[in-house]
Structure 1
């Protein structure tokens, strides 16, 4: 790039000074000066030719230093010829050597500039010495003074040589400082580029949303994580009021509000509700002037769900431990009551009406005993004996049992799995959990509807019904023991499912089905 500008600058100098010399010779000198003009025209032609050749081969040059040195040598020759053709000691163009010295300092080094200054001093001194001793060949039409004295020659050489070397020293020092400054600037630019790339990478890959607001409360930036959480692209929210887009984030009410560990609800672009935690702090420049507000926010929905599941698990565990002890205490007197009533029924003096009432007592006592047995299995489940089980075959078996039950003959079963799906579970426990889900879904539809059974190799199994679904107000209670919405239900079915899945190290979630019903999804850790 510097060589290109150098060649262009040289053409401009040639045009200005040689053109000026030619016009001077033609306009102010006599017609006898025509031969000198011809020599100047010839020098212009050589100079333009050399510039064109240099420009043509510049892109193919690999050794730029040698090429630059050749250009400097040509410039010295050119200036020497111009001084010779314009009168030697009377020439006004000796200062062009200074331009050549400055060019060498900029393109090469300080040492090269001193060498060029030495060469310019030798060439200029040689012309004046040869002219003084009348040994300089004279060309026809070139004006030379008839006679010059030694003092004039010495003074001209002394002044110009001093100027040449001072120029070389000053321009060399300045060019060295310029190079160091350029190198430092280049390193700083590289540092800034690396920092910019690092910042861009961090902003693109950080999991937290970043929102920048200007002093007028307008959104100026939203990173990729923020776009993913909110569903908005930067173009959708750019320059919009933050109170309009994110009303739950109380970070601006005409002026900035600093927030630490704030929490609120955020409705994304698709209408989904997220619980977000956010912080807001000032965005400042290097002079500590406030440029805007930086808001960082995270989607806490999954964290809140995990907290609720943990609380529910702890609550169920506590209830289970308490109820387990109570079940034992109830079961023993219940057995005594049942046994005593059965003995009374065998007495000959008991009437038929009394026997009918006693049979009701025994039947209800047996039902309570079964309920207590189920509850004890829930409260103190056995450790799973893991084995490889084909869940697809297990679901097929449960579907056949359901279809064989006359109560559910109007239920249509859709299977969403192909081939075997192997998981490591306790076959009996997991069969019980799936059966509870299947019966729960069939009863929720009132014996009529569509039941979807699905399984995937990554340990995801689901049972979905087309029933009325489960309301948001009941979602937190469905896995609690003895909670039921059915008239004849015990409220232990889903509680046992939750306990079995948890014992297997898995998780069960409730989603809305494709037809509005309940979809229970079991996720097992593989």
Structure 2
């Protein structure tokens, strides 16, 4: 399963094969136009049998032939990075042939080396631009060296005076052209990387916006269903309670009524989670005793029927006053405790711990010793309708994240598979009333009583 980051990277640009196809076609078009212009400007037209004309026509024919070979590999979609590197090197050699017949070291066609560096940056980023730069500088250097060593003759149909063949005459031109290649390479690499990063962020933002739109639609649907479900649930719960307390049922029938009552309560909690997620409410901030809220949650966990015998215990100070929405923060604590208990096996222990860091930031931890969370699921842990359990629909933690984001609180998760999970809620110092917070932990005998939560 791909993460959001992987999906964004996949959509950051067109596939390499598509980009290679388009750039190959564009390259052939540009080459053909340039050679026509060069023939009209430098050669006075294609002279039959002329040396420069022969080089130009051979270059075009070779470029088209090599493009046909590349097209075969592109259709097979094999070794695409190697094909891209080969095309970049081929381009620089092609431009060198054009430089050779249009003035040598001082030819204006040397600017085409930079075009290939830009192409390399678009295709492969810094690595592609570097390959193009090395190939271009090497080909240009060999051309100039061939003139200086008189290994490469001046085209016979070109004026000899238009070509630089001595080191003293061409060293400045060589330096300027090589510097231009380096500068273009660095700038193209930087811009291509920025474009790639921006495109990735844009794709990620678009994906999140589409997901948010889908979730909003699901939320509206869930809210409507929740209202329709809640009324029958109330009737079922009331009817079962009357049957169970009527005194006319057998022990087996009463056990069946308890099962129905427990499952009805579970459905009612799921409906409540749907409503919380689909109808967000701005928090009403006011001072509240977080420890008292935790005490209520511990008591509630002890009376909740959910499957296994789990101990819920609190560790921390007697009083801790924070500024938050009491109802919403209570929902956060309850959802985290419920999630921890559901992840625990019978006889295990869930610990709610409250402490203060040196920066006066308050830390609320909910620890369990359950099976832990798989690493591939942690990035989506707070997504709505995502769950790692066989039962449940993945709403509780999404509600937690939304409430904490509205409060500008943060949450962290630490988990090891097979060893348990810790959810850590961080309350910033500005939300903590230091003058009303006693940081000394309670003695063991004075701690909140342990509650057996049948979950």
TM-score w.r.t. length of structure 2: 0.43
Q: Using CA pairs below 8 Å that are at least 6 residues apart, which structure has the higher relative contact order?
A: 2
Q: Which has the higher strand share?
A: 1
Q: Which has the higher helix share?
A: 2
Give the greater-gyration-radius structure (CA). Answer: 1
